[in-house]
Amino acid sequence: MLHYAQEIFEGMKAYRHADGSIWTFRPYENAARMQRSARRMALPELPSDIFIESLKQLIAVDADWVPSAPETSLYLRPFMFAKEAFLGVRPAKKVNYYVIASPAGAYFPGGVEPVNIWLSTQYSRAGKGGTGAAKTGGNYASSLLPQAEAYEKGCQQVAFLDDEGNLEELGGMNIVLVKRDGTLVTPESDSILEGITRDSILQLATDRGHVVERRSVSLDEWRSGAASGDIVGAFACGTAAVVVPIGRLLGTDFEIVHAGAEASELALSLRQELTDIQYGRVEDRHGWLTRLDA
């Protein structure tokens, strides 16, 4: 039943704290998102307590694989797929659920560098009513060709628009724009994947007094805002890289360059605060951490 692409997954990290204990970040959000992905892909919804228990079971046998060097982690990948020897088209009656893991080094060992982004206009990753809001393999399959195009253009990542020219997200990270007055603007749409990193970063920014707007954002708004100086920068966020400033957005016939330091300083300071919480270096005031090794 691989042919019909019933597959969903999650991505999260286990962090080792200074006292040796092992924690993960907002796992109930991942569990709930996996249930939403399951619903969309006609797979069974795994109860949250089984999801959390599966992470604890993995740590029970693989705790030694959680590294302790700064900014390293054990990447956790829960996933579910249809597994039935059957050719007809219908939701599978048998599915498998696994969690696999891999130690992950610091994403930016030499310090966080801004990324350059290629804006794909020939391809999209999702459409209205499609599967863009589900964490499913097919969305990644469709982003690989435009991602290869991004590399050809000298960019590290690709950004996608929706049918109406509104900004969606990157292949595997959400986008946030930074305005001169400190307002943060992020696309809201039912065809993007709601990142837990983005939600957390925006919560930390709200705590600091930033205004946060979740609404549709057109490419034109970004272009004209960057030209007038109203938009001073942008960043991308997701579990793997956490937060990365966007240096340039390159399109077929235009380029936005964010050279100023203001937005990347904000992005990096929010990144620092988030990782300080994840690694237990500051108080977890929102109750975001769950212990996995006890």
Site of interaction with ligand PLP (CB under 6 A): 11, 135, 139, 169, 172-174, 193, 195-198, 238-239
**Pairing of β 231-238 and β 212-215:** unpaired
* Minimum CB distance to ligand PLP, residue 116 (Å): 18
In the complex, minimum distance from the CB of residue 134 to ligand PLP, in angstroms, rounded to a whole number: 9
Nearer to ligand PLP, 169 or 273 (CB): 169
Closest-CA residue to 121 (of 85, 168, 74): 168
Q: Which residue, chain included where needed, has tokens 């993007």?
A: 192
Q: For residues 78 and 114, which CB has a smaller minimum distance to ligand PLP in the complex?
A: 78
Query: In which residue are the tokens 């400190």 written?
Result: 182
Residue 48 or 180: which CB sits closer to ligand PLP?
A: 48
DSSP 215: E
- We find the least distance from the C-beta atom of residue 75 to ligand PLP, in angstroms, to be 11
Contact 238, 169 (CB under 8 A): no
User: In whole angstroms, how close is the CB of 230 to ligand PLP at the nearest point?
Assistant: 26
If 0-12 CB within 10 Å is exposed, 13-18 middle and 19+ buried, where does residue 207 land?
Answer: exposed
**Between 156 and 197, whose beta carbon lies closer to ligand PLP?**
197
Q: How far apart are the first and last CA of the chain?
A: 37
Q: How far is the CB of 193 from ligand PLP (least distance, A)?
A: 4
Residue closer to ligand PLP, measured from CB, 82 or 134: 134
Question: From the centroid of its chain, how far is CA 113?
Answer: 18
Crossing angle, helix 48-62 and helix 27-40, to 10 degrees?
120
- Smallest distance, ligand PLP to C-beta of residue 293, A: 22
In the complex, least distance from residue 197 CB atom to ligand PLP, rounded to whole angstroms: 3
CA–CA dist 73, 169 (Å, integer): 25
Asked if 215 contacts 185 with a C-beta cutoff of 8 angstroms, the reply is yes
11 touches 29 (CB < 8 A)? no
| Cβ-based nearer residue to ligand PLP, 103 or 138 | 138
Could you tell me which residues come within 8 angstroms of residue 68 by beta carbon, excluding any fewer than 6 positions away? 16, 20
CB of 219 to ligand PLP, least distance (A): 18
54 vs 84, which CB is nearer to ligand PLP? 54
* Closest to ligand PLP by CB, 84 or 272: 272
